[in-house]
Chains A and B, each alone.
Chain A
Amino acid sequence: MAETEQTPIVGQVLRASTVGFVCGTRSQQIEHPAFGAFVRTRQDSAADLDVIGVIHAISIDDDPLVRQMILANNMTQATIRDQRENRLVPLEISVLNVGYIQGGRIYQTLPPRPPLSLDPVLLCDAPTVARFTARLDFLRLVLNASDVPTEQLLAAVLKFAAAARPDAERRAFLVEAGRLLAGLLSQDLPRLQHLLQLIRPA
């Protein structure tokens, strides 16, 4: 797969539902994923269902060793690095599903099935993000998601989507997104105004 080379692997699916999934990775790979970034799973061709989502949380759980080390008070740079690279608890990246690909089509709604454990999760590159965000029906999914910081997530997602476009198209894209939000949030003006402040181009 030619794309895989250009697209960094974010991790592998740890647990999943149709609403979203969590993928895990080694903690030193934290520079790749970012809050609001677009990711996709890639299954083998037989399954024909790739899920697209946005990262809404990144967390690092503790493990018994970390607790001990903090109490032990004898941390060298080497032990810290060793703990980070070889620890047993992965970095957890939570993803909100916003669409899927099936039969060569993009759908901006929840996938019919969740991805499978250990499916690879890839970070979408700029052209992919631009293509996926040519339609903005998925904003509604983000807006209505529970247990996520909706406004911040939306703003981050839109910034990513804008950044995936050529400079000249960014403003127009954000305006279009803003107009859509104005329609969705017409009954909640303070929230709308807050969101628009977050996404407005500098």
Chain B
Amino acid sequence: MTTRDPLFPETDSLDDWFPRGAHSTPAAPGAGQRLGVVVGGSLSRGLDIKLDPQATIEDLAVGRYVVVRGRSKRFFCMITDVLLDATNPAIRSDPPDLGDAFLRDVYSGTAAFGTVHVAPMLSIDEGSDEPKPVRTIPSHFTAVEIASAQDVDDVFGQEDATHFHVGAPLELEDTRVHLDLRRLVERSVGIFGKSGTGKSFLTRILLAGVIKNDAAVTLIFDMHNDYGWAVKTEDGPQAKGLKQLFGGRVVIFTLDDEATRRRGASYDHEVTIGYDEIEPEDLAMLKTTLDLSDAMIDAAYELHKVWGRGWIGQLINADAEALEALKAQLAASFVSVLALKRRVQRFERYGFLKPHAAEDSARRILEYIESRKNVVLEFGRYGNALDAYILVANYLTRRIHQMYVERVEKALGDTALEPPQLLITIEEAHKFLDPQIARQTIFGTIARELRKYNVTLLIVDQRPSGIDEEVMSQIGTRVTALLDNERDIAAVLTGVSGAGGLREVIARLDTRQQALIMGHAVPMPVVVKTRTYDTEFYASVSSASTQDAPKLSVTPSDPESRRLR
């Protein structure tokens, strides 16, 4: 009698009748979230991963995270490319008939298979929870998985006083990506993307985080009335402005009281600028916008010398007689003076420019900033006049920055005496920072001097290639929604290590509410589906700021706010 016959076993477990280890165990389909194995690559170029047959290539969008579980580390990588491969290139010339379901099932993942290319971003050692930059790569044939919620949490941590929830990583809707607000405001921030990709919404979300957690005070040059009160949306009802979310902690200034009032928005101050306060430096900034020649700018300085304060008012109002007198004085540059006069004549249309301003708006704004109040300057109808926007933003920023420099220098390194960290938000940033003027303008200066004087920029732009390269390289955190112009993508990625694969990611983002965040404020680049700016968001930022803001738009008794937090 045979003792035991494995072909007629009592047990049904395969391992009981096949010796263990004698066979390569095929990957159990659906085990975990296994995706494939590392088959090659390098630290600089990224890793190649051969997909398991059961991994559906169509689900693997660029921008998703995968985790490579090495022997002693977890490697976090982002998918940067997806490709089709075959073990035998000859199959291309004689492709099997995949209309036949059987052949399709046989061939896919075997003779023909998918490969994804991933960029290693971070690693976490076994038994540690501290993400570190990658300095090596996992060995051959290490298993690769789709990142789990836990993996993402290990990198982006929890929401706390300095970490703010901005959205969810791709395909991990229930996970949160947190931005380090302190690091965010410490260096300049850039928000890029084509028109309509959600830049203004995203900026508002980030600013809400900054205000809520008091990470910095912000000054927003609000070109299209996107930030203060009752924001227009492309589809559906109005969204709330920052003032509605944070009440007294946000102050609205307006250049166009009529427009602001017409929108039913309240404002706290009207900004007027006196002709007598505009200096030639303020005009220099408008060089490209108003198409001013160097000679015209020189003429401005000369006029300033001749006429002193109020020169620009005088120039605008100069009649034939006055010009005749001037001609005698400034014979050499008189042609330029006339040309300049024609250019600045347009200022007459700007209601906020007066011969003399009743109060010093820059000083007023600074007072608010020093008492840690956030300032939104609405441009109203002047938002459509780029020269007005640039003139005002430059005018105010130059003076506020000047006062900041004085304060910081007087504080002699005593941080308690220094003014609060200030984040200045500008839209259409390339108009302020194009290579021709970035060197002379205040915004270029701020971007380049880093955090020396506690002022940083938040620039919002749809054409980053127009921004001076040196300025770009100083931007600490870059948030990029969809860009489709090669030069813009390249500009956003200048100076980013391991940028190669990210260009595909940027070019393939959704047209809305998706962005790649990289740099100073995140441990590794991440594609997020941005939080939706809605009542849930309002409740989450307002309720936490109850103690500072008496005028809350959502009261604690509001059933919605209780539900959400």
- Chain A positions within 8 Å of B, measured between CB atoms, are 1, 3, 40, 45, 101, 104-108, 124, 127-128, 131-132, 134-135, 137, 171, 174-175, 178-179, 181-183, 186-187, 189, 192-193, 196, 200-201
Contact = CB atoms under 8 A, between A and B. Distances in A.
B414 interface: no
Given A105-B19, A137-B23, A182-B110, A3 B3 contact: no
A106 to B, nearest CB: 5
A175 B18 contact: no
B88 A187 contact: yes
Contacts of B23: 108, 135, 137
A182 B106 contact: yes
A105 B111 contact: no
B36 to A, nearest CB: 15
Interface stretch (B4-12, B273-281, B465-473): B4-12
A183 B3 CA distance: 38
Given A186-B110, A189-B91, A106 B102 contact: no
Given A124-B7, A192-B111, A200-B100, A106 B17 contact: yes
A122 to B, nearest CB: 10
Interface in B11-29: 14, 17-19, 22-23
B332 to A, nearest CB: 82
Given A181-B106, A192-B111, 17 more contacts: A1-B2, A40-B7, A45-B3, A106-B18, A131-B9, A134-B14, A135-B14, A174-B102, A178-B106, A182-B111, A183-B87, A183-B111, A186-B88, A189-B88, A189-B111, A193-B94, A200-B102
B105 interface: yes
Contacts of A134: 14, 18
A93 to B, nearest CB: 20
B228 to A, nearest CB: 62
Contacts of B103: 196, 200
Contacts of B96: 193, 196
Contacts of A174: 102
Interface string B68-96: 00000000000000000001101100101
B106 A196 contact: yes
Contacts of A171: 102
Contacts, number: 87
Nearest to B4: A104
Contacts of A178: 102, 105-106
A12 B198 CA distance: 81
B325 interface: no
Contacts of B94: 189, 193
Interface residues of B, number: 31
B69 to A, nearest CB: 24
B322 to A, nearest CB: 89
B6 A105 contact: yes
Given A107-B19, A189-B90, A131 B106 contact: no
Given A106-B6, A106-B7, A189-B94, A201 B102 contact: yes
B8 A128 contact: yes
Q: Which interface residue of B6, B22, B96 has the most chain A CB atoms within 10 A?
A: B6
A-B pairs, 6 with minimum CB distance: A178-B106, A182-B110, A186-B87, A104-B4, A128-B7, A182-B111
A117 to B, nearest CB: 20
Nearest to A187: B88
Contact of A175 (B19, B90, B102): B102
A201 B100 CA distance: 11
A105 B2 CA distance: 13
A106 B9 CA distance: 11
Nearest to B86: A186
Given A105-B6, A179-B106, A186-B110, A1 B1 contact: yes
Contact of A3 (B8, B14, B91): B8
Nearest to B2: A45
B110 A175 contact: no
Contact of A131 (B1, B7, B105, B109): B7
Nearest to A137: B23
Nearest to A134: B14
B138 interface: no
B347 interface: no
B19 to A, nearest CB: 5
B85 to A, nearest CB: 12
Contacts of B88: 186-187, 189
B521 to A, nearest CB: 46
Contact of B109 (A107, A132, A179, A200): A179
B115 to A, nearest CB: 15
B267 interface: no
B10 to A, nearest CB: 11
Given A124-B7, A186-B111, A105 B106 contact: no
Contacts of A1: 1-2
B476 interface: no
A175 B4 CA distance: 32
